[in-house]
Each structure stands twice: as C-alpha cells, then as structure tokens.
Structure 1
C-alpha cells in the first residue's frame, strides 16, 4: 500500500472512532479499533475541554465531531485526496499555529499535512488544547508509522520548513514578518455574510439562524452580517431566529449581550433586538457576540461588486441564487474536506514546498 492508502485507512478508522461521540448521544460501539484504550479517555477530554473553555459547550463540541465523522468516511476522503497526485515526498516539517475560537478549528490543516506525507509541529491555542492531541495519539495507534511525525509544543517554534498560521489581523502582521523566509499560509480575520432578498422561506431563514448562532457566532464561517434590499421587513427574520432564544440562558453569552446592548444604548445607536439578538446597521463585517450587522443594497450587481472588492474580509457568502460560490442557508459550519479556508488550497501548497 502507498502512503496515501495507509493514511486514508487511518483517517477512516479515526472517523469510526469519532462517530461514537455524536450530538445524538455518546455510545461505545463494537469493532472500533483500540476502543478499550481510547473511548473513555476521549470522553474525559471532552469534559476537560468543556471545563477549560466556557464557549466549548458539550453541544458545540459534539456538533464539531459530527461534522468530522461525516467527512472522515471512505468516500469523502478518497474523493478529496484522489483529486491530487500525492507521490512519496521528501518529508518536511510543517508548523501549524492554530486558532482556538471553535472546537478543533485547526484539525483540517493537521489532516492536510499528514495526508501529504509531511511531519507536523503543532502550536495550539490555549483555548482548545485537549481534543486534538488525543485524536493524534489515536492516529498513531492506528498507523504506527506516524509515531515521531506528530509533535505538539507550547514553546517557541523551531526547526520547521513551512508554516500555516491562523490569527487576528494584528498577529498576522507578526506572522508575516517572523516567517518571511519560510513558505507559508498566513490567515487573517475573516467573517461571513448572507445576502437576503426578502423572498426567503421560513425554512431558509431558520437555517440561517444556525449559521448565525452555532458556536455563539465565534467562527469565521459564522454569519456576522447580512445584506438586505431597501424595503426589507425584519418580522420574518426575527420570527425565524426565535428557535435560538434559549441561548440567552448561557451566562457568557448573556453577559456579552447585556454589555453590547448597554454600549449601543449609551452611544445612542439605532438597533433592533428581540431579547437575545441585536441587529444594527453597520458597514463592518465583524460584529460583536450577540449582534449581527446589516447593510442595505441597491442592486445585486452593485452588491456583487462590493463583495468582490471586500473578498479579503469574507470567508463565506450565504445566499440563494446570488453567486456561483455561495453556500446554502444552514451549511456554513458543515464544510467539506475540499473547502479550504480563504480559498487557499492547503494540499496544493503542501505538495509544492
């Protein structure tokens, strides 16, 4: 078997293992490799992740794992990797600096490095440090050839050949300077937006609520802004959001809601709110927690031009019939393996270093 065949099989086994930790329930299954060694341990890591980071609720952790279970199937993995010619490479060490805004946010980069035959050096965010090292150990047990090829560090990165770094706009400037002599993918802050026409169905708007509220809106694929025509009626929008009203019972979310509402009121900003979500007219893409910005558009053509000029600020556009690259309502936090952050093909980058 080639390295690609070995890694494909290891990823499939990882998908089987992850499938036991689902939004529908955590249940130990038969015929999962090394389950006696790892099942209880991963259950404990989920508990630790939840205790360490108040934004990482069990619901959101299991939602993230549902997504990976879906993608780490034989069909999805083969469809993804067969699009590339992955020959035996001279292994390089690729450093990954991960964000920590949502559970396992750097997992895709990690899988890409292993899929291309390179070694990986991971520097995790302190906000998300429990889940990935455990899954890496599982992979090493499934495919012992990976031992010595996966390393995690909390120290200064040293002895690496290329880097994939994700952070804020401020940290990206630091990354660009610090890694200027290395092949790199440097990711800055991005947000996602929706284009509404006023003709959306109740089902589409309810699906949009998933794009807004999942992970408390902390992901770059979360919708933090929407564009609307001049005569837009907000009633249907607010009605569709209502299914998420229990989110206000989360103290961290509620504190942000109260704080941002007080700021808007004291600043005499116009905004609409329903007790757990505020919407405010604003040209920015990045909105605070519990707030979504909106902006009016005159025509779809002028909006397309604006979005095109702002493409470096945007991760996804959610719409129905607006553009060839749009994402359907409700799908932003369910990316495919071939959906690369910032539209930069990570596998192609890794094959070229």
Structure 2
C-alpha cells in the first residue's frame, strides 16, 4: 500500500472521530461509512465504563477529541516530513499495549501502519475494545489494511520488532523475552510541574487539568510539584477546587479514602482539600488522589535534578522555567511528534 493511501484513511478516521464529544454527538453526513459505525461507536463509549471502571464517558470522549484534533492532513504531513518510507519493506511489528488510559496505544498503532509496516497488536485487558473498533473503521475505508492489522489474543509471536509498554517490573520481562529483536521497551514514568509562585489562577486551573485528567492514571499526568521554599499553597488549592466533582466517581473516592488513611496512619503530614492530598515526598510517583511536592531554593538545582532523573520523567510543566517544558493544561494533548519517553518511534521504524 502507498503511504498516501494509509494517511488518507487516518484523515478519514479523524473526520469520523470529530463527530463525538461529551457535550453533543453531531452526525456529519459527509463522513464515510457513518451508517455502519456512528451509532455503534456511541454505544461503545457508553459501555466503556463497564469494561474499565476508569473509562468514564468524559474521559473516553476527551481521548477521542484529542485524536480527532491530531488526525488532520496538515498534522500528519508535518509529522512525516523528516522521514522517507518510500522504500520500506513491510515487517511485522508487535505491539504490547498498556491500558491505563483510553486509546493509550493508538500512537504506536498509527506509527507502525503509516510507516508501511504490518502490526500485530496485543491489547491490555483494561482496554480491549476501542482500538479494535477504530481498526474496523479503518479497514472499512481501506480494505487493504485488513492484511496489515492483526489483533493477538494469546502469545505474541512471529514479529520482526516490538514496541512494548509496561511497568518497571514487566519491562524486565520484556527486555529478556524480546532480547533478540529490535525493540522499544517503555517503563514507568511520571510528569512534574515546576512552580515559582507567580502563576496565575488560570495557570493553576490548567495544572489541575494536568493532575486530574484520566484520574491521574497517565504517565503525562502531573504527580509531583517542585515549589519554592515557603511556598503558599492557598492559590493552588483555590484553583484545584474547580475539580471537586472528581470525588463523585466511586473508584477515585475509594482511592482517596484509602490513600489518605494510609498516610495518616503513618503519621505523614498532609495538606488536604477533601478530594486531593498533597504530601512532601522525594518520590515522583504518587498514588491516585495524591500529589507529592518538594521545596527548592534555586531553580538551577531543579534543572540539574530533572536532567539527572530524565529517564523517570515523561514531561515537565512550567511557565518556561524549564527548557522544553509543557504549558499548563496541555500535558494530555501531545502532538504527533511528542514521543513517549522521548524515543522517536518513526525513526526506530525507519531502520527496521
């Protein structure tokens, strides 16, 4: 298949996804194959929480809209412009996907296909349905994709290279199991925010989006704050109040109650607003419903720290305090060329 044909299919998928949002689903008669897929996709989104309790309609629609914005011809052309896949010999690329947030593995799926390779997909048990539905839509637009997309139920076999995402523990297994094949192995990462006390209320509300989107389950969710010595958290908590309804979700509320109780029984000092606890801690990975923080005296020490710990960090949020940092409220809307773990997936695929 020509790359232009594959790219066109993903552009059509973007048009399809653009019809759906939490506020209102609006059917566009110009979208291809709508009669076959439109109603079924709405039903799938409504059922997603029964498949995974964290996949509320709000969170699934957010992911859908993010991909709808990304899958435009302009974005795809800009992303692909540095690469030449015209002489690609299709290889079978295995994907072992995570399931922490809706469609978390879609970027890898897109990367493999648009680079001209065939994809063998092993989905997470926590996210088995959304990607398969979108694959069916793509195949309906471009039937030749049917021979290039395979979903694997059992053991992943017969691949020429692999991209696997998991925890630090599973990464050790992946590194052993896939040691004889070209691979990208992704481990646990967390995101941080660096504040200096000059942030506006709007900045901090945006930070709340970075903390609470997907209930904090993503590697791009902020789980750690670096704040100047004697930082006053009043403005932070005032901004976080915008997200108070998160406690209405039972799974989140259960985590909040449990983690708060564990902290209190351990005699840790907490700041708490009845739906989020913050705790002074040197770790990057905080539990659901909690954010860790550390004080700093000099911004250069934070720059050095983040550079040293780069392999533990997915992204950094700040008002340009840190080079290449992400703006407040934008961590969960990466561009196509914002690669997980800063590993260029297309460059990897171009060398297979």
| TMscore range, shorter length | over 0.9
CA distance in 1 between counterparts of 2:91 and 2:48 reads: 31
What residue is the counterpart of 2:320 in the other structure? Answer: 321
5+ residue gaps, structure 2: none
CA distance in 1 between counterparts of 2:29 and 2:82 reads: 33
What residue is the counterpart of 1:202 in the other structure? Answer: 201
In the TM superposition, residue 315 of structure 1 has moved relative to its aligned partner by: 0.1
In the TM superposition, residue 28 of structure 1 has moved relative to its aligned partner by: 1.6
In the TM superposition, residue 236 of structure 1 has moved relative to its aligned partner by: 0.2
CA distance in 2 between counterparts of 1:312 and 1:23 reads: 35
What residue is the counterpart of 2:296 in the other structure? Answer: 297
- Per-residue CA deviation, residues 172-191 of structure 1 (Å, 9 max, x unaligned), is 00000000000000000000
CA contact (8 A) 1:121 1:150 kept: yes
Moved over 6 A (4+): none
Where does 1:230-309 land on structure 2 (aligned, <5 Å)? 230-309=229-308
In the TM superposition, residue 89 of structure 1 has moved relative to its aligned partner by: 1.2
What residue is the counterpart of 1:181 in the other structure? Answer: 180
- Per-residue CA deviation, residues 45-70 of structure 1 (Å, 9 max, x unaligned), is 21232211110000000000110000
Taking structure 2 as the reference length, what is the TM-score of the superposition? 0.99
Q: SS of 2:127's equivalent?
A: coil
Where does 1:54-73 land on structure 2 (aligned, <5 Å)? 54-73=53-72
Where does 1:1-353 land on structure 2 (aligned, <5 Å)? 3-353=2-352
CA distance in 2 between counterparts of 1:244 and 1:125 reads: 29
- Per-residue CA deviation, residues 286-322 of structure 1 (Å, 9 max, x unaligned), is 0000000001112111111110010010000000121
Q: SS of 1:26's equivalent?
A: coil
In the TM superposition, residue 44 of structure 1 has moved relative to its aligned partner by: 2.1
Taking structure 1 as the reference length, what is the TM-score of the superposition? 0.98
- Per-residue CA deviation, residues 112-148 of structure 1 (Å, 9 max, x unaligned), is 0000100000000011111100100111111122111
CA contact (8 A) 1:46 1:130 kept: no
In the TM superposition, residue 81 of structure 1 has moved relative to its aligned partner by: 1.1
5+ residue gaps, structure 1: none
CA distance in 2 between counterparts of 1:144 and 1:351 reads: 24
CA contact (8 A) 1:97 1:124 kept: yes
Q: SS of 1:192's equivalent?
A: strand
Question: How many residue pairs align between the two structures?
Answer: 352
CA distance in 2 between counterparts of 1:87 and 1:168 reads: 35
In the TM superposition, residue 74 of structure 1 has moved relative to its aligned partner by: 1.4
RMSD (CA atoms): 0.9
- Per-residue CA deviation, residues 231-270 of structure 1 (Å, 9 max, x unaligned), is 2000000000001001111111111000011111111000
CA distance in 2 between counterparts of 1:27 and 1:127 reads: 28
